[in-house]
Structure 1
Amino acid sequence: MNEMIILDKPIRQVNGLYCLNDLHKASGGKETDKPVYWLKSKQLIELIEELNKVRILTLEQNQQVIKTVKGGNQAGTYACRELVLAYATWISPRFFLLVLRTFDLVARGGMLAVGKIQPIADYPPPAPWQPEPVLPRPPRNLAEARTLFEQIDHAEKHIESEFNSIVVQRSQLHAINRMTRTWREYWLTVENDQ
């Protein structure tokens, strides 16, 4: 089992589920951010219902998406990746990004048995020629998530068509430059002959 670390706090895992109590500690441990308060939200109940309708690849068939372990050194509330991201979003957008980036690094093999992620403030700034991306607020319910994903899909198609247009224009520009260079060389030789 790979141990995941967020902001120097280890996140325990049990059967593919992650400990929300450990995430709470990693987020700073504010009283108002305790998992017990989040577990009472209507949005969480709706999200759990939706997750129970689909197959989650990281979990065994019929495995619970959220589970409470009482007693022992594994005591705590454990949740699947999707619920961990929802909990992190509930805490704060900044913490959501830290957790998401940690999952992404683990998925890409960027972490071995134990891995860490830098705080967002320590990430290198984008190159000067790139605009600072404006990230949307993370969705708080399924309807917002669907709307956001539709917007992202639309933007992706638009950018792809713009990119294809630029590639075509660049190809045409290269052809014009080749032709211009040929004519320029011709007229330079004519001028030198006179």
Structure 2
Amino acid sequence: MSKLLVIENTKIKQDSQGRYCLNDLHRASGGNPTQAPAQFFRNKSVNDFVQTLTDMQICTSPVNTIRGGVEQGTYVCRELVFKYAAWINPEFEVKVYQVFNAYTQGELQAVNQIPKSFSEALLLAAELQAEKERNAPKVAFVDHYVEVGTSKSLREVAKILKMPERAMIDRLIQDRLLYRQSGALLPYQTAHSRDLFTVKTGTAEHGHNYTQTRVTSKGIEYIASRYASELML
């Protein structure tokens, strides 16, 4: 449930690192053979874009290909999803943006997961309750561990939540909560407005200025509930 993303009635699979299946997106767009992922990657501008994502460390390993099995396909980071959607046509690009915005803000249930029958509604309710019960102990742990009004570094948050630090940061970047600028991780304004992060600036002992993004208690609760079933060890 935590990874369910549906575009035009097509479920978009994700790999273990949160990349999205481009083959599913191709099917969601209508499945035109001339717009298949293989055709997309024949564009020099696309390959240049992939190299730029890698060089700027916006996401690690932007493209991953799985061969064989039910998960077979080409999986890409969020930025490449948007570039692919724009390559398809403007209408599909807008649709993808809308769905991803709803997904990031936790509104996907209302937008894309409306049950079509009573049996589907019962199944959905059972899945939601099961996920809530799985995450409850982890969120409760945060409530007891983190004092309201305090903030923690990203590394401290990863240790508190028992999440791999790099994987946690990658997901925050992919979900457009953080971005890299001049080597520093900074929050997008939308995340800042929800009080998930605070930015600390100052001068270190050696005289150099520094900028550090810290996670508020509300932000830690959000990360725990949003990524608990996926990243918590």
Cα pair 1:6 1:99 within 8 Å, conserved: yes
Aligned length: 112
Aligned position for 2:112: 116
- In structure 2, the partner of 1:94 is 91
**Residue 108 of structure 2 is aligned to residue 107 of structure 1:** no
The equivalent residue for 1:11 is 12
Aligned AA (2:27): K
Gaps of 5+ in 1: 118-194
CA distance in 2, matches of 1:92, 1:39: 16
Q: Which of residues 58, 65, 75 in structure 1 aligns to 2:72? A: 75
* Separation in 2, partners of 1:25, 1:115: 19
User: SS of the counterpart of 1:3?
Assistant: coil
2:51 matched residue in structure 1? 49
SS in 1 for 2:51: helix
Distance 2:75 2:82 in 1: 12
TM-superposition CA deviations, 1:80-128 (whole Å, max 9, x none):
000010001111111011111111111111124x9528xxxxxxxxxxx
Q: Contact conserved, 1:3 with 1:115, CA < 8 A, in 2?
A: no
- What is the match of residue 152 of structure 1? none
The residue aligned with 2:177 is: none
Distance 1:101 1:55 in 2: 26
CA distance in structure 1 between the partners assigned to 2:98 and 2:55 by the alignment: 26
Indicate the RMSD between aligned Cα atoms, in angstroms.
2.0
SS at match of 2:108: coil
* Structure 2 residue identity aligned to 1:20: L
From the two aligned structures, give the one with the greater strand fraction: 2
User: Which residue matches 1:2?
Assistant: 3
Larger RCO (alpha carbons 8 Å, 6+ apart): 1
Query: C-alpha separation between the residues in 2 aligned to 1:98 and 1:116?
Result: 12
Identical-pair percentage: 36
CA distance in 1, matches of 2:50, 2:98: 23
Q: TM-score, normalised by structure 2?
A: 0.45
Contact kept, 8 Å, 1:4 with 1:115, in 2: the verdict is: no
1:38 paired residue number: 40
After superposition, give the CA deviation of every residue in 1:19-64 in whole Å (9 maximum; x if it has no partner). 00000000000111101000110011110111012233xx5xxx31
Equivalent in 21, 24, 29 of residue 31 of structure 2: 29
